[in-house]
Structure 1
């Protein structure tokens, strides 16, 4: 699932969604499901309905632009399949509050800070949907009896909860209804903001100069990389995330983009003896990698009827599997 929060940035691409394309490229008989998590998106209220609708379609366009083939995978809006919400409620009866309370993302999204005693301030304003959305995420996965889930590193905690809920359900009813899905982490590490390496690259960053989007023009990419935080060492560029976080972040981007090891990238950049040449090389690598997705996205976003058609067809096929699973769950629990 990917949230409809706008266009993909480099962190999304290298951290998760390019793996989705790789799965589509494999010759396999496995079913692939790629959803736009619009129900998750409203855990932070969206007052502008027309803009939210546009963001949902942009997410579909973004998925297709990176190479997701709708003939090989089911692409759909989460909200188009009501079984997601229904299974979410059933799984919530197996979800311990203590486990959910240990989740890190709802705390960071609520801007909560821990006191010296380890307690959180102002939790009374946290919305239930935001606190409990990992259960809905588990439902998204288990509804299709997924065996492997490609996610970014920051979502691995939620996959652990998914396995726990599946295991609890199976034990309760002494039946293996749900498989225990395995986490597929992208080989690239977390991509950091270009202008503040203390935080990851994010669409919500108030300073958008720190975010490289897949549909940025070559000129925009060049401008952002030129302003990227580095350091005062110019005679050599090497990977040292502790002492050289800015340079290491750029090296990490090259490594992920070119699918090369860090040591191989270090050999490639050994010739550069100043920051300008090094950053020009980073720009060249990113512009070349993102050229095709950018052109595809620009074409796709002009054809909203096609995007709607893709998601409707994907939802129709995915709902058949979702209904089968939910029917089995209801039968197991005694609803049928």
Structure 2
């Protein structure tokens, strides 16, 4: 029952990524789970090649430092021939209508005079990611469930037209993780694409930077520490973060905290303590490129071994060998 999860290096890893997904991957990984850095998906918009290389290594280092099993972790572009070969087979299986109906394509292309073709076809590449590795389950939120449904459609069509080779995957809701909001605007989630850097806590931020960001976090004028996501969203966000770091509930985390200054100091300290070991290990890996390269190469070899038979069979069934 292979389960595949990926993360795109479109920016530096932040607290929302870590508490919402990465820490859960490390703590609740099953023997058949696979994880990958989907750096090819970061090319659907303008990108700087050198920054993409750095962000790919950065994301890989954070995943390893967090405890995601290295023997089930790989970088997408290290299997670029395999992923692109299958993506072409699936593009020749997919229709234009199916690709253009993807909600994210509609939203991101709306109002733009020039849209990259990759924005249209990347859901097919995503299907290739899923099908290449024999994925049975894909943990995704609502915004990605349509892409998994496309992978299901293409798997069934290929199996029917050419021969049985692909597992038909299913979307599953991921285990509930922390929903970390932007510190400068708690109405939106913490995101790599935010223009307000002080609202984002990055995994590799220095401790004093983290303290300053929490000291500036938006709250309200009440100075009343209680959990109310509707009336006090900024305070609720801080309590959610504190609760996850302490392994308790938000209501329990609020007890004994007299005011917003104390709350911000408590959350900053808890986040520094939580991220500290990950930050230290990730920086060591980024400093020791030999070790990071070894992990990356071994991950690619294992991923290639897992997928080789399936890709070879698909190529033959499609008439190319």
Number of the residue aligned with 2:3: none
CA spacing shift, 1:191–1:132, aligned 2, 3 Å: farther
Return closer, same or farther for 1:190/1:265 CA change in 2, 3 Å cut-off. closer
Verify the 8 A CA contact 2:132 2:307 in the aligned structure 1. yes
Within-5 A mapping of 1:79-158: 79-107=78-106, 110=108, 120-122=110-112, 124-151=113-140, 154-158=143-147
Equivalent residue, structure 2, for 1:68: 68
Give the Cα separation in 1 of the matches to 2:119 and 2:194: 19
Quote the Cα distance in structure 2 between the aligned partners of 1:189 and 1:131: 31
Q: Tell me how far 1:272 sits from its aligned partner.
A: 2.3
> Which position in structure 1 is the counterpart of 2:17?
12
In 2: Cα distance, 1:250 partner to 1:102 partner: 38
Structure 1 unaligned residues grouped into runs of 5+? 113-119
Q: What is residue 44 of structure 1 aligned with on the other side?
A: 45
1:272 aligns with 2:273: no
- Contact 1:15–1:189 at 8 Å: present in 2 too? yes
Structure 1 residue 159 corresponds to structure 2 residue 148: yes
Shift of 1:23: 4.1
2:194 paired with 1:205: yes
TM-score (norm: length of structure 2): 0.87
Q: How far did 1:174 drift?
A: 6.2
Provide the aligned length of Structure 1 versus Structure 2: 316
Report how far residue 205 of structure 1 moved. Answer: 1.8
- Residues 23-52 of structure 1 show CA distances to partners (whole Å, capped at 9, x for unaligned) of 44x5x3x2x4322222112212324x3333
Corresponding residue for 1:333?
318
When normalised by structure 1's length, the TM-score is 0.84
- What stretches of structure 2 of length at least 5 have no aligned partner? 1-5
Q: Note the aligned Cα RMSD (angstroms).
A: 2.5
| Equivalence for 2:59 | 59
SS at match of 2:209: helix
Cα offset for 1:75?
A: 2.4
Shift of 1:153: 5.5
